[in-house]
Amino acid sequence: MDSGAPGLSESTDQPEDTHPQPQSRVAVPSPGRLAVLGLLLIGLLIGGCLVITGGGSDEPGPNTVPSRPTPTLALSDLSLAGVESFSGVDVPDGAQDFLTARLDGDRQLDVTFTIDTDQAGALVSGSGLPPLAEGARPILHSSPLWKLNPGTPISGSADVRNGINRALEVTPEGERLRVRLTLQAV
């Protein structure tokens, strides 16, 4: 053999490797990282178990306030006459477009109807409500029966009578007035 050939010598050794092959290593996290990961997994497991089981006993503790019955409305008759009867609201003759929607497990009833523009005073006084206040918004939520902001001026009134929070809003709708009424058990 030619001793001048690059990478060869006269001995029987293997040729020199000018480009060493990378050695494959398995990356092993440090013991500290393994401990943190283990604690995290244990915490997730315990948290999941608490969520599934409800988090503890149902026994009242020393700081538990005893529950009281939730008041509800007597909603057996949702006709105009039935709503007038249990709520004390006196709807003027000629009311149209009467709709109701039960909410919150019979704790609230939303009512809407239209009346002639000259009947708002009779509605309020006949129902024993305080006078309408221009710009007053006693109903601060939308309903399945109406949008929160109708885009027209609103007048409102509210009171509590016989365990019912009565909130009333009146807003123009075409040639009539739209009445929005919420009745909530208190």
Tokens of 101: 């929607």
Instruction: Quick: pLDDT tens for 77-89.
Output: 999 999 999 999 9
Q: What's residue 31's pLDDT?
A: 80
**Cα–Cα distance between 147 and 139 in angstroms, integer?**
11
Residue 104 CA to residue 93 CA, distance in Å, equals 30
Residue 18 — pLDDT band, cuts 50, 70, 90? low
Mean pLDDT of 40-57: 76
- Closest CA relative to residue 101, chosen from 89, 112, 116: 112
Tokens of 142: 């939308």
Place of tokens 């529950």: 67
Sequential DSSP letters for 110-136:
EEEEEEEGGGHHHHHHHTTPPPPEET-
Q: Is 178 helix (H, G, I), strand (E, B) or coil?
A: strand
Q: Pick the most confident of 20-24, 43-47, 112-116.
A: 112-116
Q: Where are the domains of the chain?
A: 80-185
Digit-coded pLDDT (tens) for 124-169? 999 999 999 999 999 988 888 888 788 899 999 999 999 999 999 9
